Each structure stands twice: as structure tokens, then as C-alpha cells.
Amino acid sequence: MMRAMAELQTRDRDTPLDELLAILDADGGVIIRDLLDEEARQAIVDDLSDAYGGTAPGSKSGSEQWEVFHGQNTIRFCGLAARSRAFVDHALLNPVFTAMTDEVLHGVGTDYWLNTSQVMAVGPGEPAQYLHRDENNWPEAINDEREVTLSCMFALSDFTFENGATAVVPGSQRLPAGVMRGHEVDPEDVAYAEMPAGAGMVYSGKVVHGAGENTSDEWRYGMHVSFVAAWLRPEEASPIAVDRETAATLPERARQLLGWSSYHSDGGGRTWLLDFEDVADLFESAG
């Protein structure tokens, strides 16, 4: 494995939004320090510790393609909003990530919602994941002129080249549609999202990336959160993971992002209704 020649840029969380968006546009990804402060990061780690300890590495998919993709020594589990209120308050509603998403997905429909919240903890000896683009989940919606999804990889532990920091090909977001899973690139064109715990990398749905190889003897504890245009079906069925009782305890915007509200298109169409009513009406008397 070669060390990278390509690089990703890193900024502080109070960097002006325009600057973060300009780097995202140029490179396809930007690392932001302290997206989670230490208290929030620790609270999320504590809330997820039972699931983390209770999840065997490897894929549950039963499909060879997904088993390779998920990795044999990588711990993955979803439904983080059901497991951690700190996740909701600090990651799902993260002010920097959501402000960036507001801009990037603005105009691609009237709103977006959670695609998936997923622990991606890469274990010692795990080979590099094959490179891919997140937007390939929705091949019918791909359009070179617009994004339909935006992701953030939060570092719950330090990310290093040795422990499997996410591999990213800066600039690859400009390649035309047709980049498929397993895309091959020159190793010199690959950058690695090396970042301290608490930082996060926000990255385009079009940028070619994948988990790096873990040659160390430690676990790289990542937490992926992604949003998708609200007229597309997300990877994760959030309102099944987060039940109505739990949803009622959450802020209104969190409920919307988790699918506990309906979608109103610009043209007046309404989808994801409950007997013709907006799902959000279920919580009318809730705070």
C-alpha cells in the first residue's frame, strides 16, 4: 500500500460555510475538525457501546457482493437515532453538516432526509474496501449536474493511514456518471482522511472513496451519516428503527429527517402520507 500523494484539506468547524462548500466542490470532500466536541463524541461512544460490543464483524447481507463490500473484520450496525439521543442532538442535527447539506441538496426537491446512520468500525487486518460512489445506490437518479446525496464520516476515534482512514480520490466527483463499484485508480491519486477523533469528513455522493486498509492493531471507529433527496428511498428504513414513541421525544427537525413527516413537492404533490394526512400531524401536540 502506497502513502498518498493526493491530499484532502482540513478546516475548523467555524470556517465560513462558503469556504467549506468551495473545498467540497473542488475536492469532493473536506475534513472539518471538532464537528463533535469531546463531550458529544464520548456520549455517542457510550450510548453505542452495547451495540458495538454485541455486533460480530462481517456482513449480515447473505450476498457475496455485499459481504466483500462490508468487509470481514468490520463492525457495522445502523439505527443510531434509536440507540443514542446524543447521536440525534450532535450528529443527525449537526449544525455544520446540515448547513452544508441545505446548500448542496438545495433545489434537488424541497427537502432531504436521512439515508443511513451507520457505524463503520474497521478492524486490524481488514484489506482496503473497493472504491465506489455513494450515489450509485440510486442509478436512475444520477445526473452529472446535481447531487442527490451528501455524506459525513465522523471519526469516533483517530483516523490514520495505518488504521484504515477513508481513501478518497479528490476531483473524482467530476468524472461522468458510469463510475462503478470497484473503480480502479492510480494509487498516487488517492488521499486518506486522516483526522483526529471528533473530526468529520463531509463528502460528495459523486466522489470515489472506500475504507482504507487497516495494517495496525487497533480499530478505526467511524460513524457514517448521509442524507438523500426526500423523494428518493433511503438505504435505511429509519421510521421502523425509530419507533413512534421515541420519535415523539425528538426535536421536530430530527423527526422530519427520520421519516416521521411527509414530503411536499414544489409542484404540489404530496407523498409518504398517512390516510391523506401529513405524518407529522401524529405529533401535533408533542413538543
Site residues for ligand AKG per CB under 6 A? 120, 122, 129, 153, 166, 209-211, 222
Measured distance between the N- and C-terminal CA atoms of the chain, rounded to whole angstroms: 52
Euclidean distance between CA atoms 137 and 128, whole angstroms: 20
- Min dist CB 18 to ligand AKG, Å, is 27
- Min dist CB 221 to ligand AKG, Å, is 10
Euclidean distance between CA atoms 220 and 165, whole angstroms: 7
Q: Which is nearer to ligand AKG, 129 or 160 (CB)?
A: 129
Euclidean distance between CA atoms 77 and 60, whole angstroms: 10
Euclidean distance between CA atoms 97 and 151, whole angstroms: 9
244 phi and psi angles, rounded to 5 deg: -60, -40
Q: Which is nearer to ligand AKG, 170 or 255 (CB)?
A: 170
Euclidean distance between CA atoms 150 and 215, whole angstroms: 28
Q: Which is nearer to ligand AKG, 151 or 238 (CB)?
A: 151
- Min dist CB 127 to ligand AKG, Å, is 12
- Min dist CB 203 to ligand AKG, Å, is 9
- Min dist CB 122 to ligand AKG, Å, is 6
154 phi and psi angles, rounded to 5 deg: -85, 135
Q: Which is nearer to ligand AKG, 59 or 246 (CB)?
A: 59
Q: Which is nearer to ligand AKG, 84 or 129 (CB)?
A: 129
282 phi and psi angles, rounded to 5 deg: -55, -25
